[in-house]
Structure 1
Amino acid sequence: MRGSIFFLVGLVLAMFCAACTSDSSGHGQAMQAQAYPVKTMSPETVELQDVFPALLKGKEDIDIKPRVDGFIEAVYVDEGAKVKKGQALFKINSPSTVKALEEARANYSTAKIDVERMRPLAEKNIISKVKLETYENAFAAAKAALEQAEANMTWITVTSPVEGVLGTISYRLGSLVDNSNVLTTVANTTTVMAYFSMNEKDLYDFMLEWKGETKAEKIKNMPDVKFRLSNGREYEEPGRIETISGVVDKTTGAVSFRAAFPNKNGLLLSGTSGKILIPKVISNALVIPQKATFSQQDKIMIYKVLGDSVMQDVVKVKSTPDGRSYVVFDGLESGDKIVTDGIATLSNGKKIKVQ
């Protein structure tokens, strides 16, 4: 009986020791440091882009309005058509203009007859020269009115003042129009203007980047700019900044810029929007992958390697054009080491192995 008891006690002790050994071994494996990829910061040259929303307009965007009142009798063009300077676009049936011409002709004939009738009388001193001058002045006024009425008749045909592309046609056959109505718009888009703006702070920082004593000299030294279409693709032709407004908008607190882009193929359309991309080359920049960062309370954080453990730190960054990396402006120095991947499994003070 006693032997059986000793046997059972020994069996229990053996099982307990085995469990302890197993727990100790598992715990040791859990405490073993995990390997992570690490990058050592070193300066490099990188190009960033300042991005600003922009609106496109043609070099000339001209509203086409009739100069006489009446009904649209003919439409000679269609929307989106290319038109030449002086090309007929619309014809206006203008009864008031026709009536004005008829009245002007009648007044001219009457005034002419009066002068021809009074001149011999003035030569014979039957009437005074002052009286004759009155008739002559009336004749001159009637002649001028006739010339104006004849000129008005040429306005019944509405022509394009420039070469360009036709916009939407707002009025069709039979529509009653006057000089307050915009029939369509002609946009000269051989060169397209991109309008964008900066706030005061960005403007001063931006202007300090470029050489030159005057604004004109700085504009001359600015690099070519790019335009990103609304579908995300970049327009193939580079543009140039041409003007910077000298007045801050009181409502928005912004300063307007204008950049010009060649548009030989007509891809850029007046009235469309996109983004202006202004390149900025930075030397001695520290670049980190975006996957090495995480957000915490609107701050960008990284894990800095200190010996065999990691420590959270805040960095100030700006995204690179490819959207995969950040340029660090504060929070890291050359020679610092950071974990570049797997940061979701890290915590402050955790021990790691450098992979």
Structure 2
Amino acid sequence: MKNPKLYQLVFHKQFIFLVAVFLLAASCKNKGDKNSMAAAADQPKDYTVLELSPRKAVLNTDFPASIQGQQNIEIRPKIDGYVEKIYVDEGSIVKKGQLLFSISAPQYEEDVRTAEAGILTAQADVSSAKMEVEKVKPLVDKNIISHYELESAQYTLQSKQALLSQAKATLSNARINLGYTRISSPVSGIIGSLPYKLGSLVSGTTTDPLTTVYNTGNVFAYFSVNEKQLLNFTRNSKGNTFEEKIQSMPKVSLLLSDGSKYAYEGKIETVNGLINSATGSADTRAVFINPKGLIRSGSSATVRIPLTLDSAILVPQSATYELQDKRFVNVLDKGNKVKSVAIEVMQNTPGQFYVVQTGLSKGDKIILEGAGTLKEGTQVKPKEADENSIYQDLK
């Protein structure tokens, strides 16, 4: 029978040997894994890069505007009287010359009849004076009566003729006043409010007009442009004089209050030559045709002015980051290492892009991913981006 103590000693040594072999193998494996991970970490990662080239872009600038009709004409009575009839309703579309109101003023009808009677009287007096001249003249020719009698008769005739002219003028004025009892629209347009109802007493001194006719065949959009924007627009417009620059400005669009775009484009007509010192802006007017009467006077809208840049450096906004009030972009240097570059961009943006004014130039390669997270000097593996896919949404 074997010695038990000797057997335990041999078993113990074999166990220790196996544990040592296991620990040594595990240690070698861990060291290999760490070396593999370190090697993998040292490999540059793939990042999408974009090589910059000048592109055409359109910058839209929006301005809140108020709309006014081409003409806002107050309809006021020129005589005293009562509103007898109202031929239109609020919001009605009227044509030039269409009857709007009639004023009850019977005294003007009486004035016409009186003036007509006065003409008949004056005509009779003229006829009588002519007869007197015709009667006296032969007697004067025969020296039967004095020459002064003829001159007196002729002066009387002239006086009667003047009275006839005066009577005709009185009749004309009476008819004009009678015509004021029927009020027609001086222009085509839309009827405003009707503050006076049937039977209301009105006069030429009444505070409120009978109504207002808004001629909206063309509408004016009034808005303000600040001094810096005005300089940019005029600097980029063709022409030697300010008037020529205004004429060469591009057509503008109108966004209605519901956000929809108006079907017809407009044109800037005038820019106030004086900058308002309180607001630092100049009043500007654009005109739009309104053939369907869609736009009403007094409504609000937004004027959109486009500015075309023929050669601009554009970078996606997602490729930039902001740090301490400055904007940066990651640029790939010649050694494929990351370099943070500060850029200055225009306030206005074409969609999801920035227009770079300084900091980047043609041929620079920017990294589109990892903005704000990539460290300066990090080695990367560049992957060229497709320009067409990047700028496909650019309008």
Bin of the TM-score, shorter chain as denominator length:
0.7 to 0.9
Which deviations, in whole Å up to 9, do the C-alpha atoms of 1:22-49 show, x marking residues without a partner?
A: 6776677667654332211111222223
**Conserved 8 A contact 2:330-2:338:** no
- Asked if the contact 2:238–2:248 (Cα under 8 Å) also holds between the matched residues in 1, the reply is yes
Maintained 8 Å contact 2:61/2:348? no
| Residues 31-81 of structure 1: per-residue CA shift (max 9 Å, x gap) | 765433221111122222333322222222222233344544332122332
Pair 1:86 & 2:97 matched: yes
Aligned to 2:254: 227
Within the alignment, does 1:214 sit opposite 2:236 as a pair?
no
Which residue of structure 2 lines up, in the alignment, with residue 127 of structure 1? none
1:315–1:332: 8 Å Cα contact kept in structure 2? Answer: no
2:337 alignment partner in structure 1: 308
Larger radius of gyration: 2
Deviation of 1:138 after TM superposition, in Å, equals 11
Confirm or deny: 8 A CA contact 2:190 2:213 kept in the other structure.
yes
User: Which consecutive unaligned segments of at least 5 residues does structure 1 have?
Assistant: 121-135
Aligned residues: 346
Match of 1:247 in 2: 274
Identify if the C-alpha distance between structure 1 residues 40 and 12 changes in structure 2 by more than 3 Å, giving closer, same or farther: same
Compute the TM-score of the two structures, normalised by the length of structure 1: 0.74
1:161 paired with 2:186, answer yes
Give deviations 1:106-150, integer Å, cap 9, x for gaps: 79989x999x99x99xxxxxxxxxxxxxxx999999986775555
Whether the 8 Å contact between 1:248 and 1:254 is mirrored in structure 2 is yes
Alpha-carbon distance between aligned partners in 2 of 1:320 and 1:209, rounded to the nearest angstrom? 17
User: SS in structure 2 opposite 1:343?
Assistant: coil
The answer as to whether partners of 1:244 and 1:257 remain within 8 angstroms in 2 is: yes
> After superposition, where does 1:183-198 map in structure 2 within 5 Å?
183-198=210-225
Residue 181 (str. 1) matches residue 204 (str. 2):
no
**SS of residue matched to 1:205:** helix
Q: In the alignment, what sits opposite 1:343? A: 371
Pairing 1:1-355 to 2, within 5 Å after superposition: 3=12, 6=16, 10=20, 13=23, 17=27, 21=31, 33-93=44-104, 97-99=105-107, 148=173, 150-179=175-204, 180-296=207-323, 299-306=326-333, 307-311=336-340, 313-321=342-350, 323-343=351-371, 346-349=373-376, 351=378, 353=380, 354-355=382-383
Distance 2:65 2:254 in 1: 9
Report the alpha carbon displacement of residue 237 of structure 1 after superposing the two structures with TM. 2.2
Aligned residue number for residue 128 of structure 1: none
Shift of the alpha carbon at 1:286?
0.6
- Kindly indicate whether the alpha-carbon contact (under 8 Å) linking 1:310 and 1:352 is maintained by their aligned counterparts in 2: no
**Contact 1:47/1:279 (CA < 8 Å) preserved in 2?**
yes
Deviation track 1:238-268 (CA, whole Å, cap 9, x = no partner) reads 2222223233345434222222222223333
1:83–1:164 CA contact under 8 A, matched in 2: yes
C-alpha separation in 1, matches of 2:260 and 2:40: 51
Aligned to 2:3: none
Judging changes above 3 Å, is the alpha-carbon distance between structure 1 residues 159 and 288 closer, same or farther for their aligned structure 2 residues? Answer: same
Q: How far 1:83 moved relative to its partner? A: 0.8
Q: Match of 1:315, as an amino acid?
A: E
Per the normalisation by structure 2, the TM-score is 0.68
Aligned Cα root-mean-square deviation (Å): 4.6
CA contact (8 A) 1:58 1:269 kept: yes
Q: Is the 8 A contact 2:108 2:177 kept in 1?
A: no
Structure 2 CA distance for aligned equivalents of residues 296 and 169 of structure 1: 61
Query: In 1, Cα distance between the equivalents of 2:316 and 2:368?
Result: 7
Secondary structure in structure 2 of the residue aligned to 1:230 = coil
Q: 2 CA distance for matches of 1:39 and 1:151?
A: 80
AA aligned to 1:157 is R
CA distance in 2, matches of 1:318, 1:11: 70
Stretch of structure 1 that moved more, 213-222 or 66-75: 66-75
Alpha-carbon distance change, 343 to 92 in structure 1, aligned in 2, over 3 angstroms: farther
> Does the CA contact (< 8 Å) of 1:54 and 1:275 recur in 2?
yes
Counterpart of 2:234 in 1: which secondary structure?
helix
Which structure carries more strand by proportion?
A: 1
Q: Give 3-state SS (helix, strand or coil) of 1:37's partner.
A: strand
Identity of aligned residues (%): 37
Paired residue for 1:133?
A: none
Deviation string 1:89-117 (CA, Å, 9 cap, x unpaired) is 23344xxx54577589779989x999x99
Return the offset for 1:162. Answer: 0.4
Check 1:66–1:330 CA distance in 2 against 1; reply closer, same or farther (3 A cut): farther
What code does the residue aligned with 2:330 have? Y
Structure 1 residues 11 and 311: CA distance shift in structure 2, 3 A: farther
